[in-house]
Structure 1
Amino acid sequence: MPLLPRDHPERLTLAEEVHARPAEPLDVPSRASYVALVIEPEQRERELAHLAALCTAHGVEAPAAGLTQFSAALGPLRLKWERHGEFSGYTFVVPGLSPRPFSEPAAGFLPPGWLAALPGTTVYAAHAKLASTSSRAEAPDAASLAEHFGSNLVVGSEIGDGAGLVFTDFRIHGDGFGRFLILDRGFTARQAGRMLQRLFEIESYHMMALLALPVARGQSPCIQAIEASLAALTGAIAAEGGDDEALQQQLTRMAVEIESGLAASQFRFGACRAYAELVRTRIAELREQRLPGLQTIGEFMSRRFTPAVATVASVEQRMQALSERVAQTGSLLSTRVEIARERQNQALLASMNRRARLQLRLQQTVEGLSVAAIVYYCAGLVGYLAKALKAGGVAINPDLAVGLSIPILLVLILLALKRARRRHDEADNDY
C-alpha cells in the first residue's frame, strides 16, 4: 500500500533538475576543448543527427530524443554535450599533455571536419591544459606564461581556496580558440572537473550576455532621435499653436518606433541580465585568491564585462523611460484636445441657448398673434350668431354682443393655452 498520495506530474523531472549537467571528473594531466554554438530551433534535429553519427562511428549508443545532456567515451576522447536554452556546449577531454603548449588539443582527436560541420554558429571556443604541480608551487614566471599566451596580458589567480592555479588571456588565438592553463595543487578528480566546467561556463555565459551589446548600440541612435523629436513635440504642445492632429500623428509614430524597439530587444536584454548573473555566480564559485602582479578573473570581468552589461541595462532603462514619457506626452496632448473640445462644446451650447431664446421669443410672438386671430375668428362667429338671433326676433344688439364677447373669449383662449403648456411640461418631465 503506498505511503504517499499520487505524485505531481512534474515531481520526478523537477527532482532531477538539481542533478542536471554534472561536471565530468578529470584526471591530471589532461587536455580539454570546449565549443559553444548558438543553435536555432530548426537546427536541433540536425544537431542530434550529427552527434548520433559520431557515436555510431565509434560504436556508442546515440543520445535519445529529448535529452539535454549526454556523455560518452569515444576511444581516448571523452565527449560531453549539453543543450542550453539558446546554445549547445561541447566538451572534449583526452588524457595526457602535448609536447608543446596547446599544440595537440583534444578537439584534434575528432574525425576531420566533424566539428566544423556542426549546425549553428560558434559563440565561444577554448582549449584547456590541466597539468599537475606541487602543493606549494608558486605561479609560473612571465616566460613560462608567454609560452602559452604569447605577449598577451595574462589574468590569473589561485582557485578552489588554493587547490589550484588558473591563467588565461581572454583572447581568441589564431586557431579560433581561447586558452586556459590550469595547474593542479591538490584537486580531486571531481573538483578539477567542476573548476574546468566553471571556467568554460564563465566565458560562454559572458559571450551570450554580450550578444545584447550590439543590439543596445544599434538602438542608441534611434533613442536619441526619438528623445530629440519628443522634446520638440512637447515644446509645440506647450506653445499651444500647433496642429493637434499633426502632433498626434507624430506622437503615434514615436510610440510605434519605441514599442517596436522594445519588442525587438526585450528578450535579448532580459537574457543579458540572466547570463550576467550566471557569470557572477560562476566567478564566485571559483573562490579566487590573488596572485602577486596579476588580475583575478573576477577583477578582469568587473573592469571589462560589467561596464558592457551596464551599457545594455542603461539602454533598456532609457527605452522604458522613453516609452513612459511618450505615453505621458500622449496623455497631455489628449487633455489639451479634450479641453479644446470642451471649449467648442461650450461655445456651441451658448449658441444653441441664444437660438433657443430667439425661437422662444418668436414662438411667443406667434402665440400672441395666434390668440388675436383666434379671438377675432371667434368674435366673428359670435357676431354671426347674434345677427341670426336678432333676425329670429330676439332683441339683441349684435355689435354689443361681439364687443362683450371679446374679453371673455380672450380669457378662455389664454386659459386653454396655459393648460396646453402645462401638459407639455408634464410630458417632458416624464422623459
Structure 2
Amino acid sequence: MNAPAVCSPLSDHPLRRELNDEAHARPFEPLATPARLSFVAYLHRNASAEQEQWLVGELCAWADVPPPQPGCVHFSTRLGALRFKWARHAEYSSMTVIADGGVAESFAVTALAELPADWLAQLPGNVLHAAHALLLSDDALPTGIEEISARYFGGNDLIGAGLGDGAGRAFTDFRIGPDGFSRYVVGNGTMGRRQAGRMLQRLFEIDSYRMLALLALPVAKSISPELADADRELAELTSAMSAARQDDEPLLLDRLTQLAARIESALSRTDFRFSAAHAYHEIVRRRVAELRETRVQGVQPFTEFVERRLSPAMDTCESVARRQRVLAARVARASSLLRTRVEITHERQNQQLLASMDRRAHLQLRLQETVEGLSVAAITYYTVGLVGYLGKGVKAVGVPVDAELLTAIAIPVVALTVAWGLRRFRRSLVAQA
C-alpha cells in the first residue's frame, strides 16, 4: 500500500493572515452575571497610538501584567479582580473596565473607580461617550418601569427593550449624569456569557456611534449661512450674465471663479465629516437591529429613539451635503456658460483680426507687385543704358554698329528677361515657405 502523498506548502497571499485576523479583531468580552462595567470613548486627535499604548502600559505596570505589543490596535488583560479592554478605531479610542460579581443595587461603586486616580488623570480627554452599566439577573430587576427609573435613573423617562428576542432586558435614559456618565441597566434572563458581552458592547457602540454621527450636525449648521450667501451671489451673477456687456464678462468670470473656490473650500472642509456621519448612522442602525428588540410595555424602544432623535439630524446633514454639491454644480455650469461667451467673443475678435491681416496681406501683395513692376523698369533702364554704352564703345573701335538700334532692340529683351527672372525668384521663395 502506497503512503499518501505529502502536499507541498501553499504559497499564501502576503495579506492572508492579516485579513483573516481582522475578523477576530476587537472581540467581545464574555460577561458573567452579575457584573459592573465602565466604558469610555474619546476622540484621539491629541493622542497618537504610541502615546495610548504607553498609557495602557503604565496601567499594566501598576497591575504587574505584560503590556500591549507595539503596533497593536486592541488589547485586553486582567488587572487583578478587574478586566480591562482598550481598542483604537479610525477616529476614536475606547476602553472598557469590567468588575465581575458583587454588584451593588446602584451606581455608587463603579468599575472605573477601582483604577488608580492618578492614571485616570492622564487620559487624553475629548471624551465623546462615557457610561456605567450594571449587568444583573433579570429576577433582581424591579418588575415596574417606574421603580427601575426611580432606583437607577433618578426618575427620568426610560428607553429600553427586550434583548435577543426576550433573552434579557436593557434600560437607559440616554442622559449624561452629574458625574459625566450615562447609565445602563441590563437584566439577564437566559443570555450566556458571550451573548451578554455582545449585547453590552452593542449598547455602548450605539451611543458612541450616535455621538460620532452627530458631530456633523454643528458643521451643517455652521456651513448653512455660507451656502445661503453663495446661493444669493450665484443668483445675482446669473441674472447679470444675461445683460452683461462684453467689457463686463471678465469681471463676472472672475467673481464666479472666486465663488467656485469658496464652495470647493467648504466641500473640502465638510465632505469627510458628512461622509463619516452617514457611515456612523448606518452602523448605529445595524447595532440596533442586532439587539433583536422586543417591546417592553410603556417604554420607548431603542429603534424608535434612534429614528426619532438621530434620523432628523442626519437628514439635515444629508440635505446640507447635497445642497453643497448642487451649488457647486450650478456654479460650474454658470462658469462654463460665461466662459463659452468669453471664448466666442475672443474668437470673433480673432476672426476680425485675421480678416484685417488678410486685407493687409492683400495690400502688401499689390504693393509688392507695383514695386516689382517698378523694379523691372529700373533694372531694364540701367541694363539698356549699359548696352547702349557698350554699343557706342564697339562703334568707337571701328566696328560698324548702330548704337541707337542696338539700344532699342535691347529694351524688350532685357525687360522680358528681368520680368521672367523676378517671377521665377518669387515662385522659388513661395515654394520654400
Please, what TM-score do these two structures have when normalized by structure 2?
A: 0.88
Give the aligned residue type for 1:164: G
Tell me how far apart the structure 2 counterparts of residues 321 and 108 of structure 1 sit (CA, whole Å): 51
Tell me how far apart the structure 2 counterparts of residues 374 and 56 of structure 1 sit (CA, whole Å): 111
Query: Percent identity at matched positions?
Result: 48
Kindly report which structure 2 residues correspond to 1:131-146, keeping only aligned pairs within 5 A, or say none. Answer: 131-134=136-139, 140-146=144-150
Which residue in 2 is equivalent to 1:377? Answer: 382
Which is worse superposed, 259-268 or 193-202?
259-268
SS in 1 for 2:75: strand
Q: Match for 2:328 among 323, 347, 350? A: 323
Q: Match for 2:299 among 276, 287, 294? A: 294
Given the alignment of the two structures, is residue 40 of structure 1 paired with residue 45 of structure 2, yes or no? Answer: yes
Tell me how far apart the structure 2 counterparts of residues 122 and 91 of structure 1 sit (CA, whole Å): 13
Instruction: Give how far 1:73 is off.
Output: 2.9
Which residue in 1 is equivalent to 2:206? Answer: 202
Which residue in 2 is equivalent to 1:217? Answer: 221
Question: 1:31–1:130: 8 Å Cα contact kept in structure 2?
Answer: yes
Give the aligned residue type for 1:98: A
Q: Match for 1:98 among 104, 107, 111? A: 104
Which residue in 2 is equivalent to 1:59? Answer: 64
Give the aligned residue type for 2:102: G
SS in 2 for 1:114: helix
SS in 1 for 2:120: coil
Which residue in 1 is equivalent to 2:122? Answer: 117
Given the alignment of the two structures, is residue 176 of structure 1 paired with residue 177 of structure 2, yes or no? Answer: no
Alignment gaps of 5+ in structure 2: 1-5
CA-atom RMSD, angstroms? 2.7
SS in 2 for 1:22: coil
Give the aligned residue type for 2:294: Q
Instruction: Give how far 1:340 is off.
Output: 2.1
Which is worse superposed, 176-185 or 142-151?
142-151
Tell me how far apart the structure 2 counterparts of residues 410 and 313 of structure 1 sit (CA, whole Å): 89
Instruction: Give how far 1:391 is off.
Output: 4.9
Distance 1:424 1:15, change over 3 A: closer
SS in 1 for 2:119: coil
Runs of 4+ in structure 1 over 6 Å off: none
Alignment gaps of 5+ in structure 1: none
**Matched length:** 426
Give the aligned residue type for 2:144: P
Kindly report which structure 2 residues correspond to 1:25-424, keeping only aligned pairs within 5 A, or say none. Answer: 25-40=30-45, 42-94=47-99, 95-99=101-105, 101-134=106-139, 140-241=144-245, 242-388=247-393, 391=396, 398-424=403-429
SS in 1 for 2:117: coil
Please, what TM-score do these two structures have when normalized by structure 1?
A: 0.88
Give the aligned residue type for 2:240: A
Instruction: Give how far 1:260 is off.
Output: 2.6
Question: 1:77–1:93: 8 Å Cα contact kept in structure 2?
Answer: yes
Q: Match for 2:431 among 407, 426, 429? A: 426
Tell me how far apart the structure 2 counterparts of residues 389 and 13 of structure 1 sit (CA, whole Å): 112
CA shift digits 1:142-190 (9 cap, x unpaired): 2432332234332121110011111111111111111112122221121
Question: 2:149–2:156: 8 Å Cα contact kept in structure 1?
Answer: no
Tell me how far apart the structure 2 counterparts of residues 426 and 83 of structure 1 sit (CA, whole Å): 77
Tell me how far apart the structure 1 counterparts of residues 41 and 294 of structure 2 sit (CA, whole Å): 28
CA shift digits 1:290-339 (9 cap, x unpaired): 22333211111111112222222232233333333333333333323322
Tell me how far apart the structure 2 counterparts of residues 12 and 391 of structure 1 sit (CA, whole Å): 118
SS in 2 for 1:33: strand
Instruction: Give how far 1:48 is off.
Output: 2.6
